[in-house]
Amino acid sequence: MPTEIEAREAMEDMEAMPDVVLVDRRDDIALVTLNRPEKLNALNKEMWRRVADVMAELDADTGLRCVIIRGAGDKAMGPGADIAEFADQRSNSEQAAEYGGLMHAAMGGVRACRHPVVAMIKGLCVGGALEIALMCDIRIAGQSSRFGIPINRLGLVMSYPEIEALIETVGRSIALEILFEARVFDAAEAKDKGLINRIMPDEDVEAEAWATAARIAAGAPLVNRWHKAFANRLAQGTGPANPLSDEEQAAGFACFDTEDFRTGYQAFLDKQNPQFKGK
C-alpha cells in the first residue's frame, strides 16, 4: 500500500498533468480538443477514456446544438495510437480486448451523441484519429491534411465497429483498399474517396468549421437530433428482420407538436429568421 505521502505526491502529479481532452463551451457550440500536441495528439488510454466521458457529458447537455472535434495545434488531428503503450497496455489479446473496449466506448460516444458533430481536421489524420473523424457527422479538412490507416504495418487489425463506419463512409472496395495498401494519402484523394466533406485552404479550416457549426446551430435543434437519430437507425438496416417499429415511424411526425415547428413556419410566412428554442 502507498504511504500517505506517496499517495499525496501521486495526486499532485495527476493534478499537474494537463488534461488530455479539453472542452470549450461557446454558447450553444462545444469545442473538444485532443490535447497531446507534444505527441501530435497520439491517442493513449487516458485520451480514449476522456473522449468517452466528455461525449457522454455533451450528449446529456440539451442546451448544446453542435460539437466540434479537433486536435491541438496545426500539425495533426492525430497520428493514431501511442505506440509506447503497446508493451505494457496492449501486449496480448486479453489486454487488447480491454483497451479496445475503451476505444469503442469513445468512438461510439461520438457517433451516438445526439448533437451534430463536426471534425476539424488539420495535418495528419491517420489510424485512431481517422477512426474518431469517421464517427463525426461532417469532416472539414485542410489542403495539406493527410489520411490513412496503415495498421497492417504494425500487424494490427481494424475491428468490427471501426470497419463498419469506414465501409459505411466509403464503401467496401475503397475501405479494403485503404486497409490493404496502408498508404497515407492527401486531402484531394480523401475527398475523392468520400472520407471528407470539404477541403479548405489550411488557414481557413478553423473558420469554416465554426461557420458550419453556426449554420447547424441556427437550425431547429430537435430536428437536427431527429435527423441524426434517423440516419443512425437506418444504418442498422430496416429489412424484414429489423423493421422500423410503430414508435420509430411515429417519430417522423413528432416535430409537428413542437414549438420550434410553429416558430419555423410562422417565421417563413413573416419572412423573418426563426429563433428556435429547442422545444
CB 61 within 8 A of CB 114: no
Yes or no: is domain 220-269 CATH 1.10.12?
Answer: yes
One-letter identity of residue 269? L
CA dist 37 to 41, 75, 251, Å?
Answer: 5, 8, 43
- Tell me what pLDDT residue 18 has: 65
Tell me which DSSP letter residue 243 carries: P
Closest CA to 20 of 52, 44, 1, 56: 44
DSSP 114: S
Q: Tens digit of pLDDT per residue, the chain (279 long)?
A: 445 554 454 444 444 456 999 999 999 999 999 999 999 999 999 999 999 999 999 999 999 999 999 999 999 999 988 888 888 878 888 888 888 899 999 999 999 999 999 999 999 999 999 999 999 999 999 999 999 999 999 888 998 989 999 999 999 999 999 999 999 999 999 999 999 999 999 999 999 999 999 999 999 999 999 999 999 999 888 889 889 988 989 988 988 899 888 888 888 888 988 888 889
Start-end ranges of CATH 3.90.226.10 in the chain?
Answer: 4-217
* 146-148 and 185-186 strand pairing: antiparallel
The cell numbers describing 114, all together, are 445526439
The pLDDT value given to residue 13? 42
Kindly provide the residue ranges of all beta strands, DSSP E only, lying in the chain, ordered along the sequence: 21-26, 29-34, 66-71, 76-78, 117-121, 124-126, 138-142, 146-148, 185-186, 198-200
- Global pTM value: 0.90
- Could you tell me the CATH superfamily of domain 4-217? 2-enoyl-CoA Hydratase; Chain A, domain 1 (3.90.226.10)
Please tell me the distance from the alpha carbon of residue 158 to that of residue 143, in angstroms, as a whole number.
26
Domain with CATH 1.10.12 in the chain: 220-269
Reported as type and span, the H/E element at residue 208 is helix 205-218
